[in-house]
Each structure stands twice: as structure tokens, then as C-alpha cells.
Chains A and B, each alone.
Chain A
Amino acid sequence: MWRYLLPIVLFAILIGFFVAGLRRDKETLPSPLIGKPAPEFTLPRVEDPSKQISNAEFAGRPYVVNVWATWCVGCRQEHDALLEIARRGEVPLIGLNWKDDLALAQQWLAQLGDPYVASAFDQEGNVAIDWGVWGAPETFLVGADGTILYRHISPITLEIWEREFVPRIRQGRARE
């Protein structure tokens, strides 16, 4: 009896591993930073590099950090969604311009519209490393208490914004 059953059982276990492997989302790795304090940064502004932008200025209320670059195709895809999110004005959007060319970045904002309250110019990529960024676009939601509540990798859409970000922002507001 076992002689026939055992291979079938082993095969079923193997298939189980395959199915679990297929269902798992291997693209979006969980960020270890969720629930941890958002790393602070102070960088030159893309719009005017003689001025600086720090996320510390936004402490005490929720805000979003969006990692973008002109070399990033996904960033172009999500740009209209970002403009709409900015227009709704639920939270300020801070841009983190990652390893980009300043002139190109300025041109991008001038041509496509600027959804950000300010964009930080992270040419060296040091701030991006602190935030565990590995692929633009990435969008972080920081709560009023300064902890990272959520991270979305890949272009954001209004649907994702309403499903993942808005409830978390409302929840944070309700607790205050």
C-alpha cells in the first residue's frame, strides 16, 4: 500500500511548494523600516539647490516620501496619479530625487507638473540607502508620530492610493 501511496504524497508536497512559490510576491520585499522612525534627511532642493529641504520640517503630521528620477520609466507612469494625489491635498508629498541629473529633474517638473511640496536632490544616493530604497518608484507613508507606516514599490495608482494609503492616513488622524 505504502509503496504506491508514498510517491503520491511526496509529489503532492512538492506541488504544494511550487504553488506556494508561485503565489508568493517575490518582487516587493517587505521593508524592515515599517514601524520604525523615518530616517531624517536634509538635502538641496531640486527646484533651487541653494535652498535645503528636510523631512524634519514635516514632523507632527503625516506626509509621503516619493522616490523618483528622470531615468525611471515607472516614475513617468505614476506622475499623473501623483499630480491628482497632490491636488486632493490629503498629505504633503515630498519628492526624493534619486541619483539624477539636476537639469533633467528640473525640466521634468517644469514640463510634467510638480506634485511635490519640495523635492530633495539625493545625487549620491546616501539618503536612499538610509531608507532602504532599491527600485524607483517607491512611495513611503510617514505617520504623524514620525514612523514609517507603509511602503509601496512600483508605480502608484489612484486605486492603490485609496486602498492602501488613505485608510492609514485616516486611521492616524482618528487616533490623534
Chain B
Amino acid sequence: MRALLLAVVMMAWAAAAMAIDTAPAFEDPAKQARYERLARELRCLQCRAETIADSNAFLAADLRKQLRQLIAEGKSDQEILDYMTARYGDYVLYKPRVTPRTWLLWAAPVLFVLGGGALAAVVILRKSRLPDSDPSDPGLGAS
């Protein structure tokens, strides 16, 4: 258990430490943090399963360059994400927006927990109503 926890912590740390470019893009640490965060929110469309922060594809490099420029111009996060979606569509967002098409995606974890909980409650309540010694119960392991 402890080893697992350690592994998870180390993986999370490794992801945070992954260098995008060799040199930091900005001297200002706040801008650099924004740059790194936004680069992780944008998808590289050449490689699909990677963010532009992780990808070596040249399109990812170009989009990082564009991102640096937009941040340097003082654009807000929303303006930058709008700039990208205007050109590449919502798919460029690594974290999908909540829209009529994606609400099920976002709601799915909650629905699964609620559904599973309801199912568990029904089964437990039904079983608890059964007498403790059921003559028809053949024993443990049978349902």
C-alpha cells in the first residue's frame, strides 16, 4: 500500500517536472506557470493523445510558440482558449467544456456512483429483510 502511494506521488511529481522546452519561456514565474498550465490544457492535433506540453510534433512546437506570444501580448486565459478553439475546434481543449454534447461525459462518474449506490442499497435492504436462517439457502457461496 505504501509502495503504491509512493509510486502515485512520484508519477504525479514526474508529470509536473516534465520540461516542455529546455529553457523557461518567461522570466516572470507567474507567466511561466500560466504558460505551462495552458500548454497542458491544449491538445496536439497531430498526436491526439498528447498535450502540446508533452508532444514533440512540430505543430505542438508551433502552438507553444503561439501560446508564448499570446501570453506575452497580455491575453487572458479565456481569450487564449477562444483563440485556439476558433481555429481548431473544441477538440483542441484537453479538458472538454461542458456543453449539451458533453454533459453526459462529465456526469458519468457521478451517475455511476449514484447508480452503484442505489443498486447496493436495494440489494442490501432486500437481503437484510430475509430471515437469518433460510432453509432454502444451500450455504455460503451460492446466490
Contacts and interface: CB of A to CB of B under 8 A. Distances in A.
B59 to A, nearest CB: 6
B62 A32 contact: no
B63 A129 contact: yes
A83 to B, nearest CB: 27
The bracket for how many chain A residues form the interface is: 10 to 19
Nearest to B44: A134
Contact of A29 (B58, B62, B89): B89
Nearest to B90: A32
A151 to B, nearest CB: 11
A61 interface: no
A131 interface: yes
A29 B85 CA distance: 12
The secondary structure that dominates the A interface is: loop
11 contacts: A29-B88, A32-B85, A32-B86, A33-B87, A124-B62, A129-B62, A129-B87, A132-B89, A134-B45, A134-B59, A134-B88
A130 B63 CA distance: 11
Interface of A: 29-33, 99, 124-126, 128-132, 134-135
A32 B88 contact: yes
A132 B88 contact: yes
B58 A99 contact: yes
Interface string B45-71: 110000000000011001100100000
B94 interface: no
A39 to B, nearest CB: 9
Contact of B87 (A125, A132, A135): A132
A25 to B, nearest CB: 13
B35 to A, nearest CB: 17
B91 A29 contact: yes
A32 B87 contact: yes
Nearest to A128: B62
Contacts of A135: 45-46
Contacts of B87: 32-33, 129-132
A33 B85 CA distance: 10
A134 B46 contact: yes
B62 A30 contact: no
Contacts of B66: 126, 129
A131 B87 CA distance: 6
A29 B45 contact: yes
Contacts of A124: 62
A70 B90 CA distance: 30
B89 A125 contact: no
B123 to A, nearest CB: 12
Contacts of A125: 58-59, 62
Contacts of B46: 134-135
A145 B33 CA distance: 42
Interface in B30-49: 45-46
A125 B46 CA distance: 14
Nearest to A32: B89
